[in-house]
A and B are shown apart, each in its own frame.
Chain A
Amino acid sequence: MDQELKQRLAMLQESDFAADDMKLYLDTHPDDTAMLMNYCMHVQKSAMLRSEIESHFGYPLSAQSAAFLPPPFKWINSPWPWCSEWPGEDALLTAKGAPLPFGHSACGEISQSTSLCEEETTKMCSEITDGGEN
Chain B
Amino acid sequence: MWYYEKKLQKPISIKHTNPELAKIIITQYGGPDGELGASLRYLSQRFTMPNEICKSVCNDIGSEELGHLEMVGTLVHQLTKGISCEEVKKSGLAEYYVDHSTAVYPTSASGTPWSAASIQSTGDPIADLTENLAAEQKARLTYDNILRLSDDPDVNDVIRFLRAREIVHFQRFGEALRSVQDLSDCKSTFAVTPICDC
Contacts and interface: CB of A to CB of B under 8 A. Distances in A.
Given A24-B61, A62-B6, A63-B4, A89 B11 contact: yes
A82 B77 contact: yes
Contacts of B138: none
Contacts of A86: 8, 11-13
Contacts of B11: 9-10, 13, 81, 86-89, 91-92
Given A63-B4, A81-B70, A82-B78, A24 B60 contact: yes
Contacts of A20: 9, 64
A13 B8 contact: yes
Contact of A13 (B10, B78, B81, B179): B10
Interface stretch (B20-28, B32-40, B140-148, B168-176): B168-176
Instruction: Give the contact-size bracket for chain B.
Output: 20 to 34
A30 to B, nearest CB: 8
Contacts of A87: 11, 13
Contact of B4 (A9, A62, A88): A62
Contact of B3 (A9, A10, A16, A62): A62
B56 interface: yes
A40 interface: no
A81 B74 contact: yes
Contacts of B12: 82, 86, 88
Contact of B168 (A24, A63, A84): A24
A39 B20 CA distance: 41
A27 interface: yes
Contacts of A63: 3-4
B8 A24 contact: no
B167 to A, nearest CB: 12
A16 B67 CA distance: 13
A23 B61 CA distance: 10
Interface of B: 3-14, 52-53, 56-57, 60-61, 64, 70, 73-74, 77-78, 81, 157, 168-169, 172, 175-176, 179
Interface of A: 9-10, 12-13, 16-17, 20-21, 23-25, 27-30, 60-64, 80-82, 84, 86-89, 91-92
